[in-house]
Structure 1
Amino acid sequence: MSVFTLPLGDDALLRPLEPWQAQEFLDHIDRARAIVDPWIPWAARSTDLASATAVLQRYADDQAADGGRIYGIWLAGTLVGGVMFTRFDAVSGVCEVGCWLEPAGQGHGLVTRACRLLIDWAFGERGMTRVEWWVSAGNTRSIEVARRLGMTREGVLRARYPHRGERHDSEVWALLAGDAPATGAKAELDGLMAAFLDAFTNTAGRVADVAAVRDLCIPQVTIVNNTGGEPVAYDLDGFVEPRQKLLTDGTLTEFSEWEVAERTEISGSIAHRFSDYRKSGVRDGARFEGAGRKITQFVRTPAGWRISSMAWDDE
Structure 2
Amino acid sequence: MFTLPLGDTAQLRPLEPWHAQEFLAHIDRARPHVDPWIPWATFSTDRASATAVLQRYADKQAGDAARIYGIWLDGTLVGGVMFTRFDSASGVCEVGCWLEAAGEGRGLVTRACRALLDWAFAERGMSRAEWWVRAGNTRSVEVARRLGMTRDGVLRKHTEYRGERHDIEVWSVLTEEWPPAAEASAGGVPVSEVKAELDRLTHTLFGAFTNTGGGRPDLGAVREVFIPQGTIIANTGGTDAGPVVYDLDSFIAPREKMLTDGTLTEFSEWEVAERTEVFGSIAHRFSEYRKSGVRDGERFEGSGRKTIQFVRTPTGWRMSSMAWEDV
User: One fold, TM greater than 0.5?
Assistant: yes
Matches within 5 A, 1:49-198: 52-72=50-70, 82-88=80-86, 95-101=94-100, 107=102, 113=108, 115-127=109-121, 132=131, 134-135=133-134, 137=136, 151=146, 161-167=159-165, 177-178=179-180, 180=183, 182-184=185-187, 190=195, 191=197, 194-198=200-204
Corresponding residue of 2:305: 292
**Aligned-residue identity in percent:** 41
State the secondary structure of the residue aligned to 2:207: coil
In the alignment, the residues of structure 1 paired with residue 12 and residue 223 of structure 2 have an alpha-carbon distance, to the nearest angstrom, of: 37
Q: Does 1:278 align with 2:288?
A: yes
- Report deviation, 1:245: 4.3
Give 5+ residue unaligned stretches, structure 2: none
Query: Secondary structure, in 3 states, of the residue corresponding to 1:125?
Result: helix
User: TM-score, structure 1 length as denominator?
Assistant: 0.64
Mark the CA change 1:23 to 1:62 in structure 2 (over 3 Å): closer, same or farther.
closer
- TM-score, length basis structure 2: 0.62
Pair 1:201 & 2:207 matched: yes
Deviation at 1:121, TM superposition (A): 1.2
The aligned runs of 1:251-262 (5 Å cut-off) are 251-257=265-271, 260-262=274-276
- Aligned partners of 2:144, 2:245: CA distance in 1, in Å? 33
One-letter identity of the residue aligned with 1:83? V
1:24 correspondence with 2:16: no
Moved more, 223-232 or 183-192: 183-192
Residues 69 and 84, structure 1, Cα contact 8 Å, conserved in 2: yes
State the distance in 1 between where 2:172 and 2:256 align. Answer: 34
- Cα pair 1:201 1:207 within 8 Å, conserved: no
Q: Any gaps of 5 or more consecutive residues in structure 1?
A: none
Tell whether the 8 Å contact from 1:259 to 1:278 is kept in structure 2 after alignment: yes
Counterparts of 2:83 and 2:115, CA distance in 1: 11
1:110-140 CA deviation, whole Å, 9 max, x = no partner?
9953x24432313433337766362574x7x
Partner AA of 1:120 in structure 2: R
> What is the RMSD computed on CA atoms of the aligned residues?
5.0
Task: Trace 1:209-228 onto structure 2 (pairs within 5 A).
Answer: 209-214=218-223, 216-217=225-226, 219-227=228-236
Q: CA deviation at 1:277?
A: 1.6
Contact 2:227 2:318 in 1 (8 A): yes
Give the CA deviation at 1:162. Answer: 3.2
Match of 1:234 among 245, 268, 272: 245
Count of matched residue pairs: 298
Distance 1:116 1:131, change over 3 A: farther
